[in-house]
Amino acid sequence: MNKTDTIYASPQADLQRFAFDEKVVEVFPDMIQRSVPGYATIIAMTGVMAGRYAKAGSNCYDLGCSLGASSLAISRETRGRDLQLIGVDNSAAMIERCREYCTQSNTDIELRCESIQDTALSNASVVVLNFTLQFVPEDQRQTLCQRISDAMLPGGILILSEKIQFADAHLQELNTDLHHAFKRANGYSDLEVAQKRSALENVLMPETLSAHQQRLKACGFSSVDVWFQCFNFASMVAIK
């Protein structure tokens, strides 16, 4: 049974910047499920897409793996294939709990507690960035995406899921409101929504879909598409 996220349920006089610490790890599965529209679909389909693209003898990376949801989905869909699954996250608390989950489910995965900007990448048929690039400083995203592209085998797939921004002011307001309505429908109060939003300010920095698509093309991905979107959350595929 997942522990319920009540981190922002009572008023916090001294609201801290959001961090992926022990408190967040404790409630993470509940938090992400109730906060990201389409999360379960995106994770399950990450596994399905990896099943199609993961090549024997190659590496599959889950960058910003948190508790390993994407890695576990990939592992389920690629059973018996000779692959190296590699999960990377710079939160020690996340990696520690992820290791426990992988041991419990008997999943063979190399876990690295380091920044995705620095992690070594090579021989990749699948790279997953599910809701992680949004936390990387904007001026480092181009270099990271280029390093990912350079590490990928021809015909490999990058799955990039992000909270997105809209250039059109009306759509930005509409989708922000709809996202908040989604969170309220999942049991979060107005206070929880407002405090979480403040805590994430300048921590989670969304970009427009076209900024993502242009960057991926500039980094050498040949085919780029949005395969899923719900309000201001989207998932893209980019083929090397």
Interface ranges with ligand GEK (CB under 6 A):
20, 32, 43, 64-66, 69-70, 88-91, 94, 115-117, 130-132, 135-136
Question: What's the min distance (Å) between Cβ of 239 and ligand GEK?
Answer: 20
**Radius of gyration of the chain measured on its C-alpha atoms:** 17
Helix ranges (DSSP H) in 54-203: 69-77, 92-104, 141-151, 169-185, 190-200
Question: What's the min distance (Å) between Cβ of 82 and ligand GEK?
Answer: 24
Smaller CB separation from ligand GEK, 20 or 188: 20
Smaller CB separation from ligand GEK, 53 or 233: 233
Question: What's the min distance (Å) between Cβ of 172 and ligand GEK?
Answer: 19
Smaller CB separation from ligand GEK, 125 or 235: 235
Question: What's the min distance (Å) between Cβ of 43 and ligand GEK?
Answer: 6
3-state secondary structure labels for all residues of 26-40? HHHHHHHHHHCCCHH
Question: What's the min distance (Å) between Cβ of 19 and ligand GEK?
Answer: 8
Write the CB contacts of 215 (distance below 8 Å, at least 6 apart in sequence).
141, 142, 145
Give the burial string for 70-83 (b: 16+ CB within 10 Å, else e). Answer: bbbbbbebbeeeeb
**Which residue's Cβ lies closest to ligand GEK?**
64
Smaller CB separation from ligand GEK, 29 or 220: 29
Dist CA 20 CA 224 (whole Å): 30
Smaller CB separation from ligand GEK, 64 or 156: 64
Sign of the Cα pseudo-torsion (157, 162, 167, 169, in order): positive
